[in-house]
């Protein structure tokens, strides 16, 4: 009896399309390694992550984005990279297409998509979302704030139809999907226009393209699979003839040695998504600069009311960083009652757009019960709808300066009082002198 082996495949279009594309590959591997029965398991963007996490698969065929995530999370390893075939030529690169209806005369560039309804395939789809997301970030657009709405269709076909029927103003899918759907007579390419077309790539990549290019889908092995078996599968994939039914069904020339996926890692670093969610947040050099400045830093999410407080910020108030929660109330409850209304009013004016930044002096309560003086410098960020979503700034402890100013004020008051006393005494002496002179004249 043959041992069953599961090949989980990302069903980026639908399950039937996945079977039609990859079942021949499973049959080929079963014939090459005849002691095994390879089976195709179509999985959507959510299901494939669960299956890998629960160790249900021996092999995976997936997008480069999910591969990079699973490599970091679950230790999967690529065995080969797909060689996609188009008009007799193979390609090992792909990207994303950003498009709208050809009837839209108000959309020509990526910047025109601000305030529009946008649809992508899935949040974890690389060609169907993240490749395009990087392009938006590069020109200063935050899709999660600057679009009227951002929705996900879960398949590439659903995105195409949503744009075609006007349910979304624009959308993004992986390259080659539009052309394939046209070949299947599901759509007419004349009904769409490509946004941000990368004309400089036409010679080496003859598909609609709006993003930079990335390596094609990998065939990967999970940690549960024996290394000897993995090696046999890799050899079988690399020797797959380009005219074999498995290659034809996958619209490919088979597989090549695994490419470097560094460009995908760089994309994720830019987007700060897993495994680079915290990438660049607080480097060692930045930590040194913060310590050198002796300032406390804070970063306030105005939507969740969560605040990041640096260790120097909490140290100013006599606490360890773990003793203060990242909540707005931690700051608010320590604000001096005499400063509260003035400070909150200024912040509200910043939120309403009257000021983009502000500089305030106020008092915060120290752990020992006393109040220290703080110089607060802050800036507020607003989205395309002028809604504030983030406020960040720094705290400087100016207590000694305030004490010096108070001592100077008291000294000035004391000097003024002494001067007034001396002036009054002098006036009294002058009056006494006048009276004595007058008395002497009378006696004479």
**Whole-number percent of the chain with pLDDT over 70:** 94
For the chain, domain boundaries:
3-91+216-271, 93-214, 284-397, 401-444
- The label of the residue with tokens 């008092």 reads 363
**Rounded Cα–Cα distance for residues 69 and 273 (Å):** 9
> How is residue 439 written in tokens?
């008395």
Question: According to the model, what pLDDT value does residue 332 have?
Answer: 92
Bridge partners of 78, per DSSP, are: 220
CB-based burial label for 124 (10 Å; 0-12, 13-18, 19+): buried
Measured distance CA(4)–CA(37) in Å, rounded: 5
Question: Phi then psi for 73, rounded to 5 degrees?
Answer: -80, -45
Greater confidence (408 vs 362) lies with 362
Out of 205-219, 281-295, 327-341, 380-394, which region has the weakest mean confidence (pLDDT)? 281-295
Q: Report the distance separating Cα 391 and Cα 351, nearest Å.
A: 9
Distance from C-alpha of 295 to C-alpha of 200, rounded to nearest angstrom: 47
DSSP collapsed to 3 states, the chain: CCEEEEEEEECCCCHHHHHHHHHHHHHHHHHHCCCEEEEEEEECHHHHHHHHHCCCCCEEECCHHHHHHHHHHHCCEEEEEEEEEECCEEECEECEEEEEECCCCCCCCHHHHCCCEEEECCCCCHHHHHHHHHHHHHCCCCHHHHCCEEEECCCHHHHHHHHHCCCCCEEEEECCHHHHHHHCCCCCHHHEEEECCCHHHCCCCCCCCCCCCEECCEEEECCCCCHHHHHHHHHHHHCCCCCCHHHHHCCEEEEECCCCCHHHHHHHHHHCCCCCCCCCCCCHHHHHHHHHHCCEEEEEECCCCEEEECHHHHHHCCCCHHHCCCEHHHHHCCECHHHHHHHHHHHHHHHCCCCCEEEEEEEEECCCCCEEEEEEEEEEEECCCCCEEEEEEEEEECHHHHHHHHHHHHHHHHHHHHHHHHHHHHHHHHHHHHHHHHHHHHHC
According to DSSP, the residues that pair with 392 across neighbouring strands are: 299, 379
94's tokens = 């792909």
Percent of the chain at pLDDT > 90 equals: 60
C-alpha torsion 161→167→169→175, nearest 10: -20
28-74, pLDDT tens digit by residue?
Answer: 999 999 999 999 999 998 899 999 999 999 999 999 999 988 988 88
Which token pair is 286?
A: 């930045």
pLDDT of residue 281: 55
Work out the burial of residue 113: count CB atoms within 10 Å of its CB; fewer than 13 is exposed, 13-18 middle, 19 or more buried: buried
CATH class, domain 284-397, is: alpha beta
Look up residue 329 and give its two tokens. 């109330």
Question: What b/e string do you get for 367-382 counting C-beta neighbours within 10 Å, with b at 16 or more?
Answer: eeeebbbbbbebebeb
pLDDT at 419: 77
Q: What is the pLDDT of residue 236?
A: 95
Pick the CATH number of 3-91+216-271 from 3.40.190.180, 3.40.1440.60, 1.10.238.10, 3.20.20.70: 3.40.190.180
Residue 283 predicted with pLDDT over 50: no
Categorize the per-residue pLDDT at 284 as very low, low, confident or very high, splitting at 50, 70 and 90.
Answer: very low
Query: Region 86-107: what's the mean pLDDT?
Result: 92
Scan for tokens 């395939």, then name that residue.
Answer: 121
* Residue 429: other Cβ atoms inside 10 A: 10
Cβ within 8 Å of residue 273, ≥6 positions away = 130
Residue 286 banded pLDDT, cuts 50, 70, 90: very low
User: What pLDDT score was predicted for residue 64?
Assistant: 93
Which pair of tokens denotes residue 212? 């930079």
Strand-by-strand arrangement of the 170-174 sheet: 149-152, 117-120, 170-174, 96-101, 192-195
Say how far apart CA 159 and CA 426 lie, in whole Å. 93
Structure tokens at 292: 């050198």
Q: Which of 85-94, 143-152, 201-210, 278-287 has the highest mean pLDDT?
A: 143-152
Given a contact cutoff of 8 angstroms between Cβ atoms, the answer to whether 263 and 88 are in contact is no
The architecture CATH gives domain 93-214: 3-Layer(aba) Sandwich (3.40)
Distance CA 399, CA 207 (A): 64
pLDDT, position 356: 82
């Amino acid at each position: 009896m043959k041992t069953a082996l599961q090949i989980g495949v990302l069903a980026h279009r639908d399950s039937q399309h996945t079977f039609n594309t990859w079942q021949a590959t499973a049959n080929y591997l079963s014939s090459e390694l005849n002691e095994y029965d390879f089976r195709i398991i179509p999985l959507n963007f959510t299901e494939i992550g669960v299956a890998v996490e629960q160790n249900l698969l021996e092999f995976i065929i997936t997008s480069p984005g999910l591969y990079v995530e699973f490599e970091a999370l679950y230790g999967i390893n690529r065995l080969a990279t797909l060689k996609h075939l188009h008009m007799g030529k193979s390609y090992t690169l792909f990207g994303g297409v950003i498009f709208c209806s050809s009837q839209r005369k108000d959309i020509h560039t990526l910047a025109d998509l601000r305030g529009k309804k946008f649809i992508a395939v899935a949040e974890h789809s690389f060609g169907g979302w993240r490749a395009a997301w990087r392009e938006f970030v590069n020109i200063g657009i935050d899709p999660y704030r600057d679009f009227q709405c951002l929705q996900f269709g879960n398949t590439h076909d659903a995105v195409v139809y949503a744009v075609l029927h006007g349910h979304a103003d624009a959308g993004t899918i992986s390259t080659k999907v539009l052309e394939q759907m046209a070949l299947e007579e599901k759509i007419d390419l004349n009904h769409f226009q490509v946004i941000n077309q990368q004309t400089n790539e036409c010679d080496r990549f003859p598909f609609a393209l709006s993003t930079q290019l990335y390596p094609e889908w990998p065939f990967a092995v999970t940690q549960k699979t024996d290394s000897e078996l993995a090696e046999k599968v890799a050899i079988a994939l690399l020797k797959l003839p380009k005219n074999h039914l498995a290659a034809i069904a996958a619209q490919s020339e088979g597989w090549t040695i695994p490419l470097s996926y560094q460009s995908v890692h760089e994309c994720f670093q830019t987007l700060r998504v897993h495994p680079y969610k915290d990438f660049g947040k607080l480097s060692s050099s930045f930590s040194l600069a913060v310590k050198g400045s002796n300032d406390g830093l804070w970063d306030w999410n105005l939507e969740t009311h969560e605040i990041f407080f640096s260790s120097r910020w909490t140290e100013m108030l006599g606490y360890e960083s773990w003793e203060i929660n990242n909540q707005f109330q931690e700051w608010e409850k320590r604000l001096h009652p005499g400063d509260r209304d003035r400070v909150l009013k200024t912040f509200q004016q910043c939120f309403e757009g009257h000021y983009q930044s502000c500089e305030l002096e106020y008092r915060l309560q120290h752990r020992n019960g006393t109040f220290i003086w703080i110089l607060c410098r802050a800036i507020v960020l607003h989205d395309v709808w002028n809604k504030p979503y983030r406020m960040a700034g720094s705290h400087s402890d100016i207590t000694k300066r305030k004490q010096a100013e108070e001592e100077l004020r008291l000294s000035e008051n004391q000097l003024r009082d002494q001067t007034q006393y001396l002036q009054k005494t002098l006036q009294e002496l002058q009056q006494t002198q006048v009276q004595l002179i007058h008395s002497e004249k009378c006696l004479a």
